[in-house]
Amino acid sequence: MADQYAQPGEDKRPTDIPAIRWEEPPEGPVLVLLDQTRLPAEEVERVCTDASALVEAIRSLAVRGAPLLGIAGAYGVALAAARGFDVDEAAMALEGARPTAVNLSVGVRRARAAYRSELAGGGDPEQGARAALAAARQLHQEDAEASARMAEHGLALLGELLPGGGHRVLTHCNTGSLVSGGEGTAFAVALAAHRAGQLRRLWVDETRPLLQGARLTAYEAARNGMAYTLLTDNAAGSLFAAGEVDAVLIGADRIAADGSVANKVGSYPLAVLARYHHVPFIVVAPVTTVDPDTPDGASIEVEQRPGFEVTEVTAPQAPVSGAGGGAPVAPLGTQAYNPAFDVTPPELVTAIVTEEGVVSPVTAGALAELCARSRQA
């Protein structure tokens, strides 16, 4: 296939607004989000003054992606504490905002534990709030560091699996700096390959129904000057058949103890295609995404989203999953099947790349060892 399909991105405007930041104006602390439902049309901030505003931002995907959900959850607890709200109530609401990405509860629990332990040690609620904020900031920083290490490990793995260089990588959903304290997970690996002159093309699945690939990954690829090409999700099969994909790189929302990987719906069909076409299927995720308390794929709760996300197409600048109100693409009253994620069994996963190293083959034992190592670090 001619390389005319891989143009370097032209949109090089600097991204001024970080995905998430904590601010302390005189009126009181706030959490400022880059509203991802408005991208790529507009870079608009959404300011949360309490945990319930953050819960709404999480549900509507203004803030999204597993690692960032963890960071947001931790800041949400800090915000509730700093504003004098009931911290346990806020923590429960935040944890329940979306069920699949385990990072959300990891982040919430970490900040809540810091708050509780400060109070248990005789601290007052103000000190508790400071402890929760410190925990959130630490998680944010750790995620940035993990991201850099995943990129390093992932780049080395690509070099081993595809010694010729010039990789053509297919990715799904959005896994870059919009979901992370750093440059992301799977996208960070592709970006490292691009910087090393080893990325020939990034194939970007549009990722129906909410178009995280088209709206967000293409936006990030363009800003980084990467050679990328957008495709509809259902074009992936013919792309593999044409021999145009050297590797699949995706993120994860939860990895069960047996190595089953929950990620954006559409990931599992890519794993099946990859296996059939003898292409490595690589998952990139921080260790916080591995959940030893979820034994297997069947135990992962998959979020079901409203049917209107499938039966209507909303304009990019409108809230993507507000209350419908988009242009209908199906007859009125049509029921839709709309799981947000699917689960890929471990036997279809070539490798899981984490900040602690690469797990391959993916087995329960290797994952348990990885988690133990990370706890000791």
Catalytic (active-site) positions: 253
Q: What mask, x for binding ligand MRU by CB under 6 A, covers residues 66 to 85?
A: xx------------------
Least distance (Å) between residue 374 CB and ligand MRU:
17
Q: What are phi and psi of 229, to 5 degrees?
A: -140, 135
Window 271-310: residues binding ligand MRU (CB under 6 A): none
The residue (of 31 and 81) whose beta carbon lies closer to ligand MRU is 31
Binding of residue 179 to ligand MRU (CB under 6 A): yes
Least distance (Å) between residue 285 CB and ligand MRU:
6
Q: What are phi and psi of 287, to 5 degrees?
A: -60, -30
Least distance (Å) between residue 70 CB and ligand MRU:
10
Q: In this structure, are residues 153 and 353 in contact, taking their beta carbons and an 8 Å threshold?
A: yes
Binding-site size, ligand MRU (CB under 6 A): 18
The residue (of 39 and 82) whose beta carbon lies closer to ligand MRU is 39
The residue (of 251 and 357) whose beta carbon lies closer to ligand MRU is 251
Candidates 60, 105, 177, 185; binder of ligand MRU (CB under 6 A) is 185
Q: Which of 289, 233, 319, 335 is nearest to 71 (CA)?
A: 289
Q: Which of 191, 157, 211, 197 is nearest to 351 (CA)?
A: 157
Least distance (Å) between residue 117 CB and ligand MRU:
29
Q: What mask, x for binding ligand MRU by CB under 6 A, covers residues 99 to 128?
A: --x---------------------------
Buried b vs exposed e over 13-22: b needs ≥16 C-beta within 10 Å? eeeeeebbeb
In this structure, the number of other CB atoms found within 10 A of the CB of residue 265 comes to: 23
The residue (of 263 and 311) whose beta carbon lies closer to ligand MRU is 263
Candidates 30, 35, 65, 135; binder of ligand MRU (CB under 6 A) is 65
Binding-site residue positions? 64-66, 98, 212, 263-264
Q: In this structure, are residues 144 and 182 in contact, taking their beta carbons and an 8 Å threshold?
A: yes
Q: Which residue is nearest to ligand MRU (CB)?
A: 251
Q: In this structure, are residues 185 and 147 in contact, taking their beta carbons and an 8 Å threshold?
A: yes
Give the C-alpha distances (Å, rounded to integers) separating 165 from 15, 162, 197, 200: 29, 6, 9, 8
Q: How far apart are CA 320 and CA 312, in angstroms?
A: 10
Binding-site residue positions for substrate? 64-66, 98, 212, 263-264
Window 246-275: residues binding ligand MRU (CB under 6 A): 251-253, 263-264
Q: How far apart are CA 212 and CA 262, in angstroms?
A: 16
Strand partners, 21: 32
Q: What mask, x for binding ligand MRU by CB under 6 A, covers residues 340 to 369?
A: x-----------------------------
CA 345, distance to chain mean position in Å, is: 19
In this structure, the number of other CB atoms found within 10 A of the CB of residue 233 comes to: 17
Q: How far apart are CA 377 and CA 372, in angstroms?
A: 9
Instruction: Report the interface residues with ligand MRU, using CB under 6 A.
Output: 61, 64-67, 101, 173, 175, 179, 184-185, 212, 251-253, 263-264, 340
